[in-house]
Amino acid sequence: MSKRPWKNVIKEGFFKAVFGTAAVFSILAVVLIIVFLIYRGSPALQKIGFFDFVFNAEWMSDSRDTYASEVSGSYGILTMIAGSLYAAAGTVTVGGTLGFFTAVFLAKFCPKRIKKPLNQIINLLAGIPSVIYGFFGMRVVVPLLGVFSANGDGSGILAVGIVLGIMITPTVAALSGASIEAVDASYYEGAAALGASREQAVFKTVVPAAKSGIFASVVLGVGRAIGETMAVVMLAGNNAVFPSGLFSSFRTMTANIVLEMSYAGELQAGALAATGLVLTFFILVINLCFNALKGGKMAKKRTAAGRKANPFGRYFNRACQKTRFSASPLYGQNPPKEENYVNNKPAKHSNAAAIAAVGKYVSYAAAAAAVFALLAVVLFVLINGLPHVTGELLFGAFNYGGAPSIAASLLATAMLIFLTSLIAFPIGVFTAIFLAEYTVKGGKFVRLIRLTVETLGGIPSIVYGLFGMIFFCGILNMGTSIIAGCLTVSLMIIPTTVRGTEEALLAVPDSLREGSYALGGGRLTTVRRVVLPPALPGILAAVILGIGRMAAESAPVLFTMGASLKPTPTGYRSSGTTLAVALYALAREGAYVDEAYATACVLVVGVLTLNIISAALGARLQKKLSGGGGIKAQSK
């Protein structure tokens, strides 16, 4: 009980400063991104006029336009705002429906035996890179739809809706499923006790109780659709006109940036940055809606017991817990729906029961369709690609014009993953430690960091690419180089790392922290010896998921690292093409279809492997904290 020993105070303070600095970095990143988009976009907006830019429907860019000269092109993005919204509508129609009914099936109608594997498959498929979906769409969906199209071209809103719909199905299904599962069992039992059939109980009682969670997952799907770039560019046709039918060509805001950025002139580049600003604005609004729906901010106060490590996270758990207490048809103040159950007729014979029964079969069908579609994407790539994965392709020397080899891309991807990991993971993990372990007081600063991290996480990947091109390649004079790609992708990976790590840390019950403090362990000791060891598998899972994303994302590296097949990189200053970008390049050229399939195959296998490892590690975290695994003592 002496006075505080200075050595410990300094050590504690030092580490707190390290963690805090990492957290501040996240704020800086968001500020930088917004500031530089504005810095690049605002002169163009002034020249074009904000009103004209947003409400003019004609886009005829002219790369000779400068801020000084007369404007000879026209720069209105109304068609593209409409295009993004159309894409979102199509995507949500397909993906929302498939995802919702799949979730209902998995949560309520699925036989126990196949539930777990089915869930795992669906979660796994959420990690397939979007270029793969785009590629699948180009090779399969567009030709199929072409049969029905008047001009024989199947691309357009329908194709985008179907492919992106399949793409967001796992996310919607997982999040909706989590909120349906979180509905208290008493709801179901209450309805059943009143004579409702199983289907009625599910659709009239359980689903309504979970509705805010389900809406939230659909809103998230809208965000993904509006932010999606690669798959859209590959399927939309990309004419800057208002879409007039299911097969009409259209252009989204994201596509606009990708299509024109590489050759943009001064004013044009400014207009594209401004497009990025508008796009970011849309995404931020959608994120706000999502946050409002899922129950607002993360609660500051922790509950000591019973926090499970949920793969969809505590952010979402909150929403689910909230629904549990909100008004329900059975317990709430508004009981109108009870009438159905209380009348003494056997419920089975009523009309409502028949409708609910249809719902059940729709769920079966949706789940089957979703699993079929997702597996089709993977199998299609594997079956067509595997035979062409040859030594020549993997290790052959690079040559312009000849048969392509992806050796250079493999190396570039590995280099990207290596350096990005070194930058992003320490910052992300430290930020999370700061947020989870050093912020009991929940002050303004902490809320600011949390908000910025969430904002950073919501920014679409193409905007990162745009920022990287302006800031790292341009202002910092790195040019198109692997290092610029690494820095750009780091910014994108940090928020997901923070989130995953924080979830793993918060899954460690507070009672363990108290136990350590009560033994005289300081904060640092407690974090290092009691919190981190059990959280480690969860943190590793987040890290590996992050690596998967580095390999999967193409939009952020397209302009910062290199967009077309490049020779073997000689260092971080040379440019390079990642596997995902190589696939994009090969797929769009159309000359080397077999090589494209093989590249897709390598990419899918790599990313799925990383996701499997990540899922396995996540499962271990849960087991460790619930007492399943024996942990070896270090001594004795």
Partner 1 sequence: MSQEICIRTENLNLFYGAFQALKNINMDICGREITAFIGPSGCGKTTLLRCFNRMNDLVEGCRSDGKIYIKGRDIGADTDVNALRREVGMVFQKSNVFPMSVYDNVAYGPRTHGTKKGRLLDGIVLESLKKAGLWDEVKDRLNKSALGLSGGQQQRLCIARALAVEPEILLMDEPTSVLDPISTGKIEELCGELKKRYTIVIVTHNMQQAARISDKTAFFLLGEMLEYGATKDVFSDPKNEKCERYITGRFG
Q: What is the DSSP string of 6-69?
A: HHHHHHHHHHHHHHHHHHHHHHHHHHHHHHHHHHHHHHHHHHH-HHHHHH---EE--TT--SSS
Contact residue for partner 1 among 112, 113, 349, 441 (CB under 8 A): 441
Which C-beta is closer to partner 1: that of 2 or that of 334? 2
At closest approach, how far in Å is the CB of 8 from partner 1? 7
Task: Check binding of 68 to partner 1 (CB under 8 A).
Answer: no
Q: At what angle do helices 313-325 and 482-506 cross, to 10 degrees?
A: 40
b (16+ CB within 10 A) / e for 568-588: ebeebebbbbbbbbbbbbbbe
Q: Which is nearer to partner 1, 346 or 533 (CB)?
A: 533
Quote the least distance from Cβ 546 to partner 1, whole Å: 25
Of 68 and 305, nearer to partner 1 (C-beta) is: 305
Helices 461-468 and 6-48: crossing angle in degrees, nearest 10, is 90
Beta pairing class for 59-60 and 74-75: antiparallel
Question: Three-state SS for 612?
Answer: helix
Phi, psi (rounded to 5 degrees) for 75 = -130, 80
The torsion region of residue 128 among left (phi > 0), alpha (psi -120 to 50) and beta comes to beta
Place of tokens 């996701």: 611
CB atoms within 10 A of CB 613: 16
Rule CB under 8 A: say whether 7 interacts with partner 1: no
Nearest residue to 461 via CA among 293, 226, 246, 626: 226
**Interface of this chain with partner 1, residues 262 to 321, rule: CB under 8 A:** 300-301, 305
Task: List, in sequence order, every residue forming a beta bridge with 59; answer none if it has no partner.
Answer: 75
- Tokens 């505590």 correspond to 314
Binds partner 1 by CB under 8 A, chosen from 8, 69, 151, 303: 8
Among 17, 440, 475, 591, which residue sits at the site for partner 1 (rule: CB under 8 A)? 440
Q: How far is the CB of 310 from partner 1 (least distance, A)?
A: 18
Does 190 bind partner 1 (CB under 8 A)? Our answer is no
In the bound complex, what is the minimum distance in angstroms from residue 613's beta carbon to partner 1? 22
Which residue among 308, 348, 529, 573 contacts partner 1 (CB under 8 A)? 529
Q: How far is the CB of 615 from partner 1 (least distance, A)?
A: 21
DSSP string, 505-568: HHTS-HHHHHHHHHTT--HHHIIIIIIHHHHHHHHHHHHHHHHHHHHH--HHHHTTT-SS--PP
Residues in the chain: 636
What are the beta bridge partners of residue 467?
none
When the beta carbons of 5 and 336 are compared against partner 1, the nearer one is 5
Shortest Å distance, C-beta 509 to partner 1: 7
Closest C-alpha among 211, 185, 184, 190 to residue 342: 190
Cα–Cα distance for residue pair 112/196, rounded to 1 Å: 22
Q: How far is the CB of 518 from partner 1 (least distance, A)?
A: 4
Query: Which CB, 442 or 571, lies closer to partner 1?
Result: 442
Q: State the Cα–Cα distance between residues 539 and 536, nearest whole angstrom.
A: 5
Check residue 442 for interaction with partner 1 (CB under 8 A). yes
Tell me the closest approach of the beta carbon of residue 498 to partner 1, in angstroms: 22
Which of these segments, 231-239, 273-281, 481-489, 624-632, binds partner 1 (CB under 8 A)? 624-632
Tell me, by CB under 8 A, how many residues bind partner 1: 41
Task: Evaluate whether 147 touches 70 at the Cβ level (below 8 Å).
Answer: no
Per-residue mark of binding to partner 1, 151-170 (x: CB under 8 A)? --------------------
Does residue 537 belong to the site contacting partner 1 (CB under 8 A)? no
Does position 3 bind partner 1 by CB under 8 A? yes
Residue 2 binding partner 1, by CB under 8 A: yes
Footprint of partner 1 on residues 498-527 (CB under 8 A)? 509, 511-512, 514-522, 525
By CB under 8 A, is residue 444 in contact with partner 1? Answer: no
Mark the segment that binds partner 1 (CB under 8 A) among 379-387, 419-427, 439-447, 553-561. Answer: 439-447
Q: CB under 8 A: which stretch of 143-151, 210-218, 604-612, 626-634 binds partner 1?
A: 626-634
Q: Per CB under 8 A, which region of 175-183, 436-444, 545-553, 603-611 contacts partner 1? A: 436-444
Q: Is 627 in the site for partner 1 (CB under 8 A)?
A: yes
Spell out the SS3 assignment of 555-597: HHHHCCCCCCCCCCCCCCCCCCCCHHHHHHHHHHHCCCHHHHH
- Contact set with partner 1 (CB under 8 A): 1-5, 8, 300-301, 305, 440-442, 509, 511-512, 514-522, 525, 529-530, 533-534, 624-627, 629-636
